Amino acid sequence: MNILPAGLQFKEIAITNEYTTIPEELRHKIKLSAVSKQVSANNGQLFEITLDAMKLSNQQMTITYEPETVADQETINAWGGLDNTPAYLVRLRPVLKVGDQRAVVGKDGLPMDLTTSSP
């Protein structure tokens, strides 16, 4: 007969704690940051965020870019969209999205035409 046992297969020695919710110190955290050598403010730190790993489970995480200022957005609109705008005219800042929600937005922007070279 395939019957499930009524008790556990091991001997319970002690119960140390019982929780209705998981305490903050026992939750797994994920720390994400973006750093750029081209930004002098904040030691090049564009953003830093710490999120619960539990909330990131089964969520799509995306880094996108948006205009840094209203003037940058107006320049993009005047040129008919980001694809048509000359890269040297606007600055973009990084945005981390979790699902469809913006989790964090960069403090500073970067020139869209920024190129990096390896030493």
Q: What is the DSSP string of 74-96?
A: HHHHHTTSTTTS-GGG-EEEEEE
* Residue 76 belongs to domain spanning: 26-111
Contact 57/30 with Cβ under 8 angstroms? Answer: no
How far apart are the C-alpha atoms of 106 and 45, rounded to whole Å? 8
Residue 10 maps to a domain: no
Residue 33 maps to a domain: yes
- The closest of 61, 57, 53 to 102, measured between CA atoms, is 61
Q: What is the value of pTM for the model shown?
A: 0.70
Residue 21 maps to a domain: no
Higher pLDDT, 3 or 104: 104
Residue 104 maps to a domain: yes
Q: What is the pLDDT of residues 96-110, one digit of tens each?
A: 999 999 999 998 888
The one-letter amino acid code at 5 reads P
Residue 61 maps to a domain: yes
Residue 55 maps to a domain: yes
Q: What is the pLDDT of residues 32-80, one digit of tens each?
A: 998 887 766 677 888 999 999 998 999 999 999 999 999 999 999 999 9
Higher pLDDT, 112 or 33: 33
Contact 110/93 with Cβ under 8 angstroms? Answer: yes
Q: Please give the tally of structural domains in the chain.
A: 1
* pLDDT score, position 112: 79
Contact 107/46 with Cβ under 8 angstroms? Answer: yes
3-state DSSP assignment of residue 9: coil
Residue 117 maps to a domain: no
Q: Tokens at residue 109, please? A: 């922007």
Residue 6 maps to a domain: no
Contact 92/67 with Cβ under 8 angstroms? Answer: yes
